[in-house]
Structure 1
């Protein structure tokens, strides 16, 4: 079977070669990361030159008034993640919330203890629920995680899914065609572990036609048999199969005008997985670590299409206009058997970790769903920058009106239209730069939506139609008295109408939820290309929906209050010419200020402490080792409690702390008489075979991290 898959990868990669490149910066962004060259002597870049997601302008990371953690193209290539979920586990303070379509908000991420953030392209186009579980990071030139409420820049979504949440945003920047020349890059990786294997083939080709036109095609194939297919009721199920292609083009009809199109098409069919119950840090209810409650035929399927035409017009040296639109279509369905327990089982499970019935394969009534989602986006952005004003001032003014609409066949949330405008001004003088911004959003809600399950049953969900508006302000400050020292701070508030909810009387809330953040910190450059950042923050959220169950129906009241406070540290860049590092630490303390009964107001809903370290060193000594690159990684998560709908359950229901170590080695083909543009890579993931939980939905649906795997790969360019 594996040999056949290797052949399929090779044939498909060869077919994609004719379409066209590599890893360059998109022409549809202000930020320019430069050209990344893949060769034997190249040292990976873990720190970008500029970031865009926090301000819609290309700022050096140290000059941003907010914290932006960036996973660069080099980082993505080295760690070879299957999807966005796998990539974001390297960022402390980001919780992935259950890698399953059965999750009510699949593919959204908690940041700084706050939930409900839906990823977006370029910080503007939300990708839709579920897409975060399938989006292949190989297609991205970088992924930026902007910390803190960001409604003042890109707006709250106003839908039941609570998008653009209180904790921050996940912004993806899709690779696009460029005019820097012709190039074809190829990568293939094979990994094997106990009861698991994965094979990935990727190709990226850019072809220029004359001086003003270029076409680019990126393709990725992924075949994966997870460890939970090796035992239990799902043993022998078909492995994951995923196919993605992302064609794009760019055309410069004039020196100051760029016209382009980015697109992406994806098809994925994978075994369903919702995890196992947790008790005392290990699987409960009779389950083993790498076992699944699902049946052999339970599958999760995802098809998507993304189209993004854009025009960039450099009107003058100071004034840039950007026009863009996007259409995102996704169709997914899932059939999943949960490790479900009824009320009669709970007290026994809390005490012993076992179920009184002795049965672990119990079918829930919520085991299948089918959803088609369409979203439409239009925006126009004006960026006016004046570097030389009287008395030494400089100014950057950003204005962006936009429109966003989403419709869905699912009953989870209602179709919503959002009309918004962002105003942001940045004024600098000497050491000091002040930033102020305001976002206005107007929402309209469709009063009903129809849902058809895979069994053919059709239901209509009625919503109370609504028209709401929201204001979201922000302010920021950076002070740079020395080239190597920056102080920064920010204050912001995100306001989002709670559309789509109802209480037991059928009433809809009229007050929006709000999230306010205060943050301050500093950045220090100990050596030329290395920056240390430290910050302290507090987020207060109020009017959040709180779930309650009445006669087996779920309703909400709207007096929820919580706060999240913490400390974040990061070290990113080059320690020496041959040594690069990305280290991040996050401390978070979450408080539920509506806790009742015996439930504590402060508990570890997410780990208090998370840490990740990734580093690469290129040897430059003896002939035997010269240009060989060795890398290592470490991830730590402290103890935390599993929950039910985000609420505390029991002292015995917790995740133990975990330590995961990785190592990798890259050897240029020139060591064997080949080309310096090709590399042979070796790696071991989870070296010591740590058994741990990586994410969870409810306490009885906890997803286990991958076991030890050995990886070999090849990458290079034509």
Structure 2
């Protein structure tokens, strides 16, 4: 067997490689760097309100309607000119609903399904256009945020975000390894160019206590140096016994602008989470769903600790050429302890159980080098982007499984029996190294906009199972592309059509220790976007067909493992309307229609609907600042979400999940509008699932209860 470098050596090699690939002018002119201008290059803007320049992809927008994103093209491009479905969850939307996790943040976005795994503080989970996108679809600041083999990953803290960009459909032409369904790009808060001081206390049901702060501003009059420090601490129970939702989070950021042509921003974060290892209720095709929870406080913990650090460099060589490099290192440790049920006794009073444990570590290095060139060929304008990126991923998974004492359903003896640590049966070490090169040209001719993107990826994967003494190697490479055509009229209407492909090598192994084949996908989409001149609003409509092969789903026969399925095709329609109408009124409306079908699979599933995917999803939110002449300082918000019915299993044989309608609400009161001495003080109450609707979702062999009523009161002070 050939010698393999240690993970530490691989990380060092990756760092050296990225240094060699750094934009040469940036290194050569490090003493003469500063902020990029507003004409297409990224500009650091103050938090919440756009000031001193045009909106960019990192702006913190106060209202509901953003106009620009870089997630679809890696260049700051108006949403109306982007030939693919994309939504921006602004900072204003996050604040209005006081979202506590990524699922809540995405709940009002078209094409997104967040309740398939029900109430779940363990990890971020969402589906895009009928496909699971959480494992390979989470990006942060344009770099992929990898996950481990089971649970190891960095859960999203919404308080640390400036915005969330949701790109629906394949994104591999620019990003390489990503979900065929699309991606969610988390935009981290940057240092502001004006002083920022904010502190907040929150209190909620389930003994929820949370404190958070956001501080920052320039360090000198020239704004060459600026900083930001965002932090949060939470101690909270949840609706399920033995499942906490505790968190500690601290995120420093620092920006250096040595001159007017270069910006260097350092971003970091430390996070520690504690939750539950098991959340679902017992379900089997023979008995159906029973009100028997698997979580047992004697053995039910998910402890996660993570750290990430990186930088972004942007250097404007001249009016035409801009160079960028984005780098990030991340480390995650996770320890999951859980109990699962294997059967029910004939008398119905006893359930048989086993105990499991998953210990994981994850190290990853990512770097993306870009060169952006603007030029003309006669009447045709070009924005050319060339890039080279590298990702290294090293994961370790130690799995244990063993007997657990039976549960007496009469006495409900949860937490009263000793559950010992189960014996280890697998130690899996996996490494991935990926290199990708890509080229994109955004071509403008009058009102016509043609986007051409192409990329080639090379990937090496090694998996070693130490207990079994086996080793597997895999080499994959693929070309992916996208072509999109838009026509933007003078009055803001922009019809478009696009075609894109995707390539996703999968991490982890199946329950037998075998590597998964890459997931591939393709999509054709047509739509129209409308941004009326003079109105802060955006309306989009799209139709699409997406096909995915070798996608991964939860393995219902083996807890905490995934399994590959054949080909699934989804056809659908999406509608979205966003508007900041003035006079304090903001609106958000979304509708999704999905028609999923397993086109290739087993005899039992072929031609059937994949489980858990509803045909219809509707949401709407309205936020209104009451005029001061009526009630000074009062703001009201209300929302409704409808999730249609879906099949409980992939062979469509055990019935359907019921449709559910949920209501959310918010009320805010700015005390400064009544008493000037209290300027900057805001009281708020937010409620999710206002009427405490009970509902359960079953999919892929598991059943989860939905998030019940959550009420959070807060007091915020800005000064």
User: Paired residue for 2:159?
Assistant: 138
Is 1:201 matched with 2:188?
A: no
For 1:21, the equivalent position in structure 2 comes to: none
1:199-598 matches, within 5 Å, as 199-210=209-220, 211=222, 212-229=224-241, 234=242, 239-277=244-282, 284-287=289-292, 293-338=295-340, 340-342=341-343, 356=346, 358-359=348-349, 361-364=351-354, 367-386=356-375, 389=376, 391-410=378-397, 414-450=430-466, 459=467, 462-497=470-505, 512-525=518-531, 528-542=535-549, 560-598=566-604
Structure 2 counterpart of 1:112: 129
Q: How far did 1:176 drift?
A: 2.1
The question of whether the paired residues in 2 share the 8 Å contact of 1:274 and 1:336 is answered with: no
Cα deviation for residue 482 of structure 1 reads: 2.8
Number of equivalent positions: 634
**TM-score, with normalisation over the residues of structure 2?**
0.80
**Residue matched to 1:159:** none
Residue-by-residue CA offset, 1:524-555 (whole Å, 9 max, x unaligned): 24571122110000012235579999999999
Structure 1 unmatched ranges of 5 or more: 1-24, 157-163, 346-354, 451-458
Provide the C-alpha distance between the structure 2 equivalents of 1:507 and 1:249, rounded to a whole number of angstroms.
Answer: 43
Distance 1:441 1:662, change over 3 A: same
For residues 44-69 of structure 1, give each alpha carbon's deviation from its aligned partner in whole angstroms, at most 9, with x where no partner exists: 41122311111001112111111112
CA distance in 2: counterparts of 1:278 and 1:548, whole angstroms: 14
In the alignment, which of 102, 115, 124 is matched to residue 84 of structure 1?
102
Q: TM-score, normalised by structure 1?
A: 0.81
1:270, distance to aligned residue in structure 2 (A) = 2.3
Secondary structure at 1:662's aligned position in 2?
Answer: strand
Q: Tell me by how many angstroms 1:216 deviates.
A: 1.1
Is the contact between residue 148 and residue 167 of structure 1 (CA under 8 Å) also seen in structure 2?
yes
Q: 2:691 aligns with which of 688, 692, 699?
A: 688
Change over 3 Å in CA distance of 1:488–1:33 after alignment to 2? farther
The whole-number CA distance in structure 2 between the counterparts of 1:174 and 1:318 is: 27
Which stretch of structure 1 is more off in the superposition, 588-597 or 202-211? 588-597
Among 191, 196, 203, the alignment partner of 1:177 is 191
Closer/same/farther in 2, CA of residues 409 and 696 from structure 1, 3 Å limit = farther
Task: Establish whether residue 54 from structure 1 lines up as the match of residue 72 from structure 2.
Answer: yes
| Rounded Cα–Cα distance in structure 1 between residues aligned with 2:557 and 2:678 | 68
Conserved? CA contact 1:631–1:663, under 8 Å: yes
Alpha-carbon RMSD: 3.5
What is the SS of the residue equivalent to 2:339? Answer: coil
Correspondence 1:5-24 to 2 at 5 A: none
SS at match of 1:414: strand
Distance 2:706 2:315 in 1: 46
Which of these residues, 197, 202, 213, is aligned with residue 189 of structure 1? 202
Structure 2: which 5+ runs fail to align?
A: 1-35, 51-59, 398-426
Instruction: Pick closer, same or farther for the CA change 1:68–1:308 going to 2, 3 Å.
Output: same
Alpha-carbon distance between aligned partners in 2 of 1:686 and 1:550, rounded to the nearest angstrom = 32
8 Å CA contact 1:323–1:380 kept in 2: the answer is yes
Secondary structure at 2:69 match in 1? coil
Structure 1 221/576 Cα, relative in aligned 2: closer, same or farther at 3 Å? same
CA distance in 2, matches of 1:43, 1:490: 28
Task: Tell me the residue number matched to 1:153.
Answer: 174
Aligned partners of 1:31 and 1:52 also within 8 Å: no
Deviation per residue, 1:271-327 (Å, 9 max, x gap): 3342214699x982243xxx5533344111000000012221111122211112110
Task: Please state if 1:617 is matched with 2:624.
Answer: yes
Contact 1:396–1:425 at 8 Å: present in 2 too? yes
Equivalent residues of 1:53, 1:146 under 8 A apart: yes
1:659 equivalent in structure 2: 661
Q: C-alpha distance in 1, partners of 2:662/2:587? A: 17
How far off its partner does 1:436 sit? 0.3
- CA distance in structure 2 between the partners assigned to 1:265 and 1:512 by the alignment: 32
Superposition deviation, residue 377 in structure 1: 1.1
Find the aligned partners of 1:26 and 1:267 in 2 and give their Cα distance: 38
**Displacement of 1:706:** 2.7
Larger deviation, residues 481-490 vs 531-540: 481-490
Alpha-carbon distance in structure 1 between the residues aligned to 2:229 and 2:483: 40
Instruction: Name the counterpart of 2:181.
Output: 167
SS of the residue corresponding to residue 75 of structure 1 reads helix
**CA positional deviation for 1:562:** 1.8
Alpha carbons 1:107, 1:131 under 8 Å: kept: no
How far residue 86 of structure 1 moved from its aligned partner, in angstroms, is 3.5
Contact 1:434/1:478, CA 8 A, preserved across alignment: yes
Tell me how far apart the structure 2 counterparts of residues 684 and 283 of structure 1 sit (CA, whole Å). Answer: 32
- Of 108-117 and 657-666, more deviation after overlay is shown by 108-117
Aligned to 2:141: 122
Q: 1:312 to 1:54 in 2, by over 3 A?
A: same
- Measure, in 2, the Cα distance between the counterparts of 1:520 and 1:200: 44
Cα distance change of structure 1 residues 501 and 26 upon mapping to structure 2, 3 Å threshold: farther
**CA distance in 2: counterparts of 1:272 and 1:294, whole angstroms:** 9
Matched-pair contact (CA < 8 Å) for 1:415–1:449? no
Judged with a 3 Å threshold, the aligned counterparts in structure 2 of structure 1 residues 471 and 412 are, in CA distance, closer, same or farther, namely farther
For 2:62 and 2:506, how far apart are their aligned partners in 1? 44
Q: For residues 187-245 of structure 1, what are the alpha-carbon distances to aligned partners after superposition, in whole Å with 9 as ceiling and x for unaligned? A: 222122xxx2322211010042212111211001122211222xxxx4xx7x4321000
Name the counterpart of 1:711. Answer: 712
